Amino acid sequence: MRIRRSVTRFFGISVLPAITCAIIAYFGYYAVWGERGMLALADTQARLGVQQEQLAQLQASRQRLEHRIDLMRPGNVDNDLVEELARGQLMEGAPGQIAVPRIAH
């Protein structure tokens, strides 16, 4: 009887710490190697850095385009830009060459 009580007491006392250790190990594993763990965080931060660089490039490109549009607004037309656009539309016409505009459909 004594042995049975001591064995029961031993297992009764050690069950709660064993369950606690298993829970801590489970959550600890996923905190490091899980889908949203520390290793995934480093990968996500690297991808974020690349996308922030792409965003900066796109914003700079947009600012350049907005500046060109501002140069074409009525009352503030830049003659050099108009000439550049005309040459582009007329297929790189050479100086002294006569260009005939096409009728737009």
Alpha-carbon span 69 to 77, nearest angstrom:
10
Q: Is 68 in contact with 81 (CB distance < 8 Å)?
A: yes
Alpha-carbon span 90 to 78, nearest angstrom:
18
Residue 14's pLDDT band, with cuts at 50, 70 and 90, is: confident
Residue 7's pLDDT band, with cuts at 50, 70 and 90, is: confident
Q: Is 99 in contact with 90 (CB distance < 8 Å)?
A: yes
The CA-based angle 79-87-68, given to 5 degrees, is 50
* pLDDT number for residue 1: 59
pLDDT, tens digit, for every residue of 80-94?
888 777 777 766 666
SS3 94: coil
What are the E-state strand segments in the chain? none
pLDDT, tens digit, for every residue of 33-79?
988 889 999 999 999 999 999 999 999 999 999 998 888 888 888 88
Q: Is 85 in contact with 91 (CB distance < 8 Å)?
A: no
Q: Give the DSSP H or E segment for 87.
A: helix 79-89
